[in-house]
A and B are shown apart, each in its own frame.
Chain A
Amino acid sequence: MDIDLITNILYATVRTGTPLILVALGEMVCEKSGVLNLGQEGMLLMGAVVGFMAAVTTGSLFVAVLLAIVAGILMSLLFGFLSITLVSNQVATGLALTIFGAGLSAFLGSSYVGVGITGIEPMSIPLLSEIPIIGKIFFQQDPLVYLSFILFGLVFWIFKSSQIGLKIRAVGENPEAANAMGINVHKVRYLAVIFGGAMTGLAGGYLSLAYTPLWAEGMSAGRGWIALALVVFASWKAERIMLGAYLFGAFSIMHLVMQGLGFEVAPNLLAMLPYIATIVVLVLLSSDHMKTKLSAPMSLGVPYRPQV
C-alpha cells in the first residue's frame, strides 16, 4: 500500500465519518438534556429526501441544505411535542419517529428515485490544503465537512465552558433541582431536541447532496442507529464522538482498503462490518458498565412533569 492510497482511504474516512459526527453531536446535546431520541434514522431520511427534492426543484444547493435542516427540525418538534409536552414513552416515540420518517421519506421521494444532480463539490482551503497528507485528508473536502469541524468546536465549547452547557446538564441530571433554580426544564429540553433535529437534518442533507448526490429509499442505512451507539461509546464527550465517528467511517469503507490490499471479499459481507463493529463496541462498553452508567445523564429518558 503506497502513501497515496492511504491518503485516499483516510480522505474517504473523513467523508463517511461526517454524517455520523453530525448526528451523534446533535443526539449528545439532546441526551445531555435528558431526552433520548431514538428517531435519528427517521429524521436523517427526512433531511436527505427534503434536501434532495429542494436541490432538484430550486437548483440551489444552499437552499437545499437549509431545507434539509428545517425538515430535521420539524421532525424533532413532532418528537418533542409527544415526548416532552405529552410525556409519552421516549423509546416508543423515537421508534415511531423512525418508522414514520422512513415511510414519509419513501413517499415524498418516490418520484425522485433515479434523478441526478450535481452535488456539493469539494472546496480546497487555501494554504491548509497544501500541507502534505493532512491537507488532502482534512482540507480538500466539501464545505459541509468544514461545517462539521465548526459544529464540533461549538458543541465542545458549549459543554466545556458555557452557561448554556451547565443549564443543559442541570436539566439532564436533575430536572427538579434545575426547575428549583429557575431553569425552564421544558424550554431547555425543547431547544436541545431542536438542535438535535437540525444536526440530523443537516447530516441527511450531507448524505443526499454531497456524499452520494442521489435519493434512494432507506439510503441512511442505519447511520442514525450507529450514531446512537456512538454517543454511548463516546461517553457523552464531543471529542470522543469525533474520533469514534472516523473509526466507524473507516469500517464503512473497508472494501476500499481490501481492494487496496488485493483481497477479494464479497461486498455484501464487507457491508456488514459497521454493524458488527457497533455490536462489538456495545460489548466492549459492558466491560466498563459502571463507567457508562456514571457518564450517562442521570435523568436520561425520564419524562419531566412540573409539579403543580
Chain B
Amino acid sequence: MFNVSLKLEKRPSDSQTMSFLSPLLAILLTLICGGILFALLGHDPLEALYTFFISPLSDAYGWAELGIKVAPLLLCATGLMMCFKAKIWNIGAEGQFIMGGLGGSWAALQFMDASSSWVLVPIMLTGMASGLAWAAITAYLKTHFKANEILTTIMLNYIAVNALLWAVHGPLKDPQGFNFPESALFVDTTLLPLINEDYRLNISIFFGLFAVVAVWTLMSRTWVGYQIQVLGEDAKAARYAGFKENQLTWFALLTCGALAGLAGVSEVTGPIGQLIPSISPGYGYAAIIVVFLGRMNPIGLVFASMLLALTYMGGEMVQMEMALPKSLTGLFQGMLLFFLLACDLLISYRVVLVKKMLDKKVSPSATVDAA
C-alpha cells in the first residue's frame, strides 16, 4: 500500500529561476481565478478577461492612459523599494502621495496669474517637500521612539486623507465653486506639459523612469545603497560594521516621501488639474504590490507598474462595457498579491512527493531515499 502525499522541502539555496517565475505563475493563477469569477457572474470568461486586460490597450489613447497611471505607481514603488530593501515596512506611500498633492495644490493656487511654466519648479518642489515632511514624521518616530513604522505610516495615511478633506472643504476650496469641495481649476502654466497634445500623458512618466534608474544606480553602485542593502539583510552585521542605522532609515524614508510626494503633485497638476476630495485610487497601496511583483528590480518594477496600472483601466472598462463593478480592480490586485506570496514559497522550498509504505515500518532515512 502506497500513500502518496505532497511535502515541502527546504532547498539548499534559494532558487533564482523560481524568483523569476513566481510572479508569472501568480499572474497566471490570478487570470484563472478571475476567469472563474467572471464565469460565476454569468459572463464568458475569455471575453471578460479580454475586456479587462487587453481591450484597454487597443489603441494609442489607451497606452497613453496607461502611462498616466504608470507614472505615480512607478514613483511610489521606487521609493518603497528602497525602504523594503532596508526592511523598513513603509506602508505610507499613500499618505505621502496625498500630502504631496495637497502641498503641491496649495503652491499651484499661489501662482494663479503665472505667465511662465517655470512656476512648475517651485510647485513640484513643494509637493516633494510635503511628501518628504510626511515621511519625516515616521522616520523621527522610528529612530527616536522605536515606534513601529507599519502602524505609524498607516495612521498617517488616515490622517492625510482627513487633511485632504479638510483642505478641500476649507482653506483650499474654490470661493467661486458653488460650495463644491474642490479647489479652483489650476491655470495652464501650472499644469505639467503634455508629451503629445492629442493625449493626456504628461512628462511625469519621465520622472518615474528617471527615478527608477536613479534609485537603482544608487542602490547598486554607491556606498549608501550598499549600506542600506546590508542593513536590510543583516541588521546586526550592519551595526557591527559601524553603519549608522538611524541615518540610513532617515535617508530611505525621506527618499520615498519625496518620490511619493512628487507622484502626488504630478497627479493634481496632471490628469486631475485641481484638488479634489479623492486624488488617489490607492496608488500608494498598489505600489506595495508593484515592489513585490517587480522583484525589487528596475525592469521588473516598470512591468509590474504597467500591470497594476492596467488593473485600474480594466476595472473601468468592465464597468463601462459589462456593467460590472469597478471595484474588481482591488479584487484583482489582492488576488495577485496573495498568489505571489504563495508562489514565492517555491523560491526557498520545493514540493516533493512522499511515498509512504503503510504496512511496513519505514525509517526516516528510507523515506528520503525513496523521494
Contacts and interface: CB of A to CB of B under 8 A. Distances in A.
Interface of A: 38, 78, 82, 86-89, 91-93, 95-97, 99-104, 106-107, 110-111, 217, 221-222, 225-226, 228-229, 232, 266, 268-269, 271-272, 275-276, 278-279, 282-283, 285-287, 289, 308
A272 to B, nearest CB: 5
Interface string B11-27: 00000000000000000
B322 to A, nearest CB: 13
Given A103-B330, A272-B158, A279-B152, 12 more contacts: A93-B341, A95-B91, A100-B331, A103-B332, A110-B326, A268-B166, A269-B162, A275-B162, A279-B147, A279-B151, A282-B147, A283-B141
11 contacts: A96-B337, A100-B335, A102-B330, A110-B327, A111-B325, A225-B151, A266-B169, A268-B166, A268-B169, A269-B166, A279-B147
Most chain A CB atoms below 10 A, which of B156, B329, B330: B330
A6 B234 CA distance: 53
Given A268-B166, A271-B162, A96 B147 contact: no
Given A82-B342, A91-B89, A266-B166, A282 B325 contact: no
Contacts of A278: 151, 155
Contacts of B313: none
Nearest to B149: A282
Contacts of A308: 364
Given A93-B341, A106-B327, A106-B330, A99 B289 contact: yes
B201 to A, nearest CB: 27
Nearest to A91: B89
B338 A96 contact: yes
Interface in B322-350: 325-335, 337-338, 341-342, 344-345, 349
A271 B166 CA distance: 10
A286 B145 contact: yes
Given A95-B91, A103-B330, A88 B345 contact: yes
B368 to A, nearest CB: 9
A86 B345 contact: yes
A191 B163 CA distance: 40
A158 B146 CA distance: 31
B146 A286 contact: yes
A86 B348 CA distance: 11
Given A100-B334, A106-B330, A279-B141, A89 B154 contact: no
Interface string B115-156: 000000000000000000000000001001111101110111
B117 to A, nearest CB: 33
B285 interface: yes
B148 A101 contact: no
B159 A107 contact: no
B155 A222 contact: yes
Given A38-B150, A278-B151, A282-B147, A100 B163 contact: no
Nearest to A83: B341
B341 A91 contact: no
A88 B141 contact: no
A276 B151 contact: no
**A-B pairs, 8 with minimum CB distance:** A103-B330, A100-B334, A110-B325, A106-B327, A286-B145, A268-B166, A103-B334, A103-B331
Given A100-B337, A106-B327, A222 B154 contact: yes
Contact of A92 (B151, B162, B285, B292): B292
B170 A229 contact: no
A86 B339 CA distance: 12
B341 A82 contact: yes
Most chain B CB atoms below 10 A, which of A38, A103, A276: A103
Given A82-B342, A100-B337, A275-B159, A228 B151 contact: yes
A228 B91 CA distance: 15
A98 to B, nearest CB: 9
B158 A275 contact: yes
Contacts of B147: 279, 282-283, 285-286
B309 interface: no
A99 B337 contact: yes
Most chain B CB atoms below 10 A, which of A110, A268, A287: A268
A246 B326 CA distance: 37
B169 to A, nearest CB: 6
Contacts of B292: 92
B74 interface: no
Nearest to A268: B166
Most chain A CB atoms below 10 A, which of B154, B166, B329, B331: B154
Contacts of A285: 147
A282 B166 contact: no
Contacts of A271: 162, 165
Contacts of B285: 99
A217 B278 CA distance: 14
A135 to B, nearest CB: 35
A278 B163 CA distance: 17
B288 interface: yes
A279 B141 CA distance: 9
A222 B288 CA distance: 18
Nearest to B339: A96
A95 B364 CA distance: 38
A111 B327 CA distance: 11
B334 A99 contact: yes
Given A38-B150, A103-B332, A88 B155 contact: no
A268 B165 contact: yes
A51 B8 CA distance: 37
A282 B151 contact: yes
A89 B155 contact: no
Given A286-B147, A308-B364, A107 B327 contact: yes
Contacts of A99: 285, 288-289, 330, 333-334, 337
Given A228-B151, A272-B159, A283 B337 contact: no
A100 B333 CA distance: 7
B154 A100 contact: no
